[in-house]
Amino acid sequence: MKSSVKAQKAPIGKRLVKFWPLYVMLVPCIIYYILIKYVPMAGLLLAFKDYSYKKGIFGSPWVGWRYFETFFTSYDCLRLIKNTLVVGLIKCILEFPFAIILALMLNEVRNMKFKKITQTITYLPHFLSTVIIITMLQRILAPGEGLLNQIIAQMGGSGDTFFLMETKYFYQILFSMDLWRNIGWDSIIYLAAIAGVDSSLYEAAEMDGCGKLKRMWHITLPGIRGTIGLLFIMGIGGLLSSGFEQIYLLRTPGNMDLADTLDVYVVRIGLLGGQFGYATAIGLIQGLVGLVMVVTANKICKKMTEVSLW
């Protein structure tokens, strides 16, 4: 412990010499974030410019806050924000506890063969592309010949419901599909955090007569509280980012009122409509709102649980 404290207090030059292999391995990561994450941020100037192909980003004339005013006064503004928030709440809040529950359940499994098979089955959907998953979903939910409609028909129903065209089914389909795809992958982090909980605490609790549920509630969950808090804070930043591919592929004329989110709108007016400045302005709004929400959630979480990103 004392040696690590001394190492942290040592001058930066000595630390660079002593731990040079670690800093060398960090270089590609730094280069990646500079080139892929920070350099493209110069393109945010488009939100304040009337972009011209001939003049480029820096040579195009300034338009000030015109695009922001246009968006907030447009007819679609409230509808797009509402749809995006609902989808964000489904993905970031409603789905959040399920990965924790799955990790707690897998941690209690003592049959290692069954545990590995279960983990593999729950992880696999994460590696499937969105296009493949949506195609499977369309086949399952197809009217008449779809698996779900065939089951309904066998039970005495009509069996001709077009689920993807019905507005009332959109959120249920989105929630089920996203949960099926991500629950296993998201549980990996919680399983790793649970593995780091001191096993002597479980032994002491078992000797005191605590059952599995009490050990989960009083030992496991407090032991991974930091991990839960950090992931929740980072997830909050995505409330206004519903994801493009999934929502765009789920869109049909029947559910268009709910499936038209900010991410879809940005691609539609930016790439398809050629309004690059207007699309950049909306994307900038999403980023700023996400930043504010992360900072706010971090402060609240730090005050209430002493867990924070910084």
- Per-residue pLDDT at 8: 55
Does 183 map to a domain?
A: yes
Three-state secondary structure string covering 80-147: HHHHHHHHHHHHHHHCHHHHHHHHHHHHCCCCHHHHHHHHHHHHHHHHCCHHHHHHHHHHHHCCCCCH
pTM of the model: 0.83
Does 135 map to a domain?
A: yes
Q: Domain check: are 284 and 182 in the same one?
A: yes
Largest pairwise CA distance in the chain: 77
Does 310 map to a domain?
A: no
- Among 13, 37, 64, give the residue marking a domain's end: 64
Q: Domain check: are 124 and 9 in the same one?
A: no
Does 71 map to a domain?
A: yes
Q: Domain check: are 166 and 126 in the same one?
A: yes
Q: Domain check: are 146 and 20 in the same one?
A: no
Does 291 map to a domain?
A: yes
Q: Domain check: are 72 and 207 in the same one?
A: yes
Q: Domain check: are 16 and 119 in the same one?
A: no
Q: Domain check: are 123 and 257 in the same one?
A: yes
Q: Along the 310 residues of the chain, how does pLDDT read in single tens digits? A: 444 545 555 677 788 888 888 899 999 999 999 999 899 888 889 999 998 888 888 888 999 899 999 999 998 899 999 999 999 899 888 999 999 999 999 988 888 899 899 989 999 999 999 999 999 999 999 888 888 989 988 888 888 888 989 888 999 999 999 999 999 999 999 999 998 888 888 888 888 888 888 888 888 998 888 888 888 888 888 788 777 888 999 988 888 889 889 999 999 898 888 889 999 999 999 988 888 888 888 888 888 777 787 7
Does 216 map to a domain?
A: yes
DSSP single-letter state for residue 53: T
Q: Are 165 and 255 in contact (CB under 8 A)?
A: yes
Q: Domain check: are 20 and 156 in the same one?
A: no
| Number of domains forming the structure of the chain | 2
For residue 10, the enclosing domain spans 1-64
Does 199 map to a domain?
A: yes
CATH number of the CATH domain containing 288: 1.10.3720.10
- Per-residue pLDDT at 1: 43
- Among 31, 64, 97, give the residue marking a domain's end: 64
Contacts of 293 (CB under 8 A, 6+ apart): 236, 237, 239, 240
Q: Domain check: are 292 and 165 in the same one?
A: yes
- For residues 190 and 107, give the distance between their C-alpha atoms in angstroms, rounded to a whole number: 10
| Strand locations in 12-105 (E) | none
Q: Domain check: are 26 and 92 in the same one?
A: no
User: What dihedral do alpha carbons 249, 99, 262, 250 form, nearest 10°?
Assistant: 20
- Among 42, 64, 86, give the residue marking a domain's end: 64
Does 133 map to a domain?
A: yes
Q: Domain check: are 80 and 97 in the same one?
A: yes
Q: Domain check: are 52 and 80 in the same one?
A: no
- Per-residue pLDDT at 173: 92
